[in-house]
Amino acid sequence: MLSLSSHIALVTGSSRGIGRAIALALGRAGAKILFHGATDSAALRDALAAAQSEGIEAEAHVADLGDATSCDRLAAECAAADILVLNASVQSYGHVADFGNEEFDRMVNTNLRSSFRLVRAFGPSMAAKGWGRIISVGSVNAGHPAPRLAIYAAMKAAQKNMMLTAAKEWAANGVTANTISPGVIATDRNSKVLADASFADPLRETIPAKRFGTAEDCAGIVLALCSDACSYITGADIPVDGGMGL
């Protein structure tokens, strides 16, 4: 039931972190993987090589999702994908009153507009095929914004809401759209702050599981949601947070 053979997955932001772990999990289940990164980085090439060394059919694509033309080009290059994992995002901190227009626009373009453009590009072809999976990697911040993450949190909430409409629009066509909401996951993004024990130790104490998550902790649920085992689950938001939201 967890086999994804004959499927093709575009996982945005899969050069590193959560996206890479998701891509490898889907690849191990038989999907062809379209890796993606903002730049043609060593990390992206390493992720591709790691997949290919396991016998996973894979390609790498580069696109700055903050740029509409690049985003549309990525969609065209990856048009055959029937699994879309919206994982890439940018995250910047600031009090609402201090957020400049340029940074606000960068966050909206990269985190939300690109997701809309990709869902608009892939949803109809998935529906025409009669099978598709759209997964948004959200955040616990969508419901409970952390201090100084207002814009990031708002984009996550908007993206989650977009999944609800996508879920309803294409449910009858075999396409599901779901969100996973990670808590604190140890990746490059937060390696600096989590290396500071005075910040990390009290934060860890607030998590019932008493540990930070790993990128791999996020991959299993995405694999399940992409598989036929979860074909009747759509519009869900599944926390991957060690109980942090309880």
Ligand X SMILES: NC(=O)c1ccc[n+]([C@@H]2O[C@H](COP(=O)([O-])OP(=O)(O)OC[C@H]3O[C@@H](n4cnc5c(N)ncnc54)[C@H](OP(=O)(O)O)[C@@H]3O)[C@@H](O)[C@H]2O)c1
The footprint of ligand X (CB under 6 A) covers: 13, 15-19, 37-39, 41, 43, 64-66, 87-91, 110, 137, 139, 182, 184-185, 187-190
CB of 115 to ligand X, least distance (A): 10
Token pair listed for 23: 């891509």
Point out the residues that are catalytic.
152
Sign of CA dihedral 137, 32, 127, 1: negative
CB of 121 to ligand X, least distance (A): 15
Element (H or E) spanning 37, and its range?
A: strand 32-37
CA 124 to chain CA centroid, Å, is 20
Judge whether 180 and 173 are in contact, CB under 8 Å. Answer: no
Closest residue (Cβ) to ligand X?
17
Pick 123 or 182: Cβ nearer ligand X: 182
| Residue in this structure with the two tokens 């910040």, named with its chain if needed | 199
CB of 42 to ligand X, least distance (A): 9
Beta partners for residue 188, in sequence order: none
d(CA 108, CA 111): 5
* Of 89, 212, 193, the residue nearest 151 (C-alpha): 89
d(CA 153, CA 149): 6
Pick 139 or 176: Cβ nearer ligand X: 139
Pick 110 or 234: Cβ nearer ligand X: 110
In the chain, alpha helices (H): 17-28, 42-53, 68-77, 101-107, 114-129, 150-170, 191-194, 197-205, 215-226
CB of 206 to ligand X, least distance (A): 14
Pick 114 or 234: Cβ nearer ligand X: 114
Pick 187 or 227: Cβ nearer ligand X: 187
CB of 230 to ligand X, least distance (A): 20
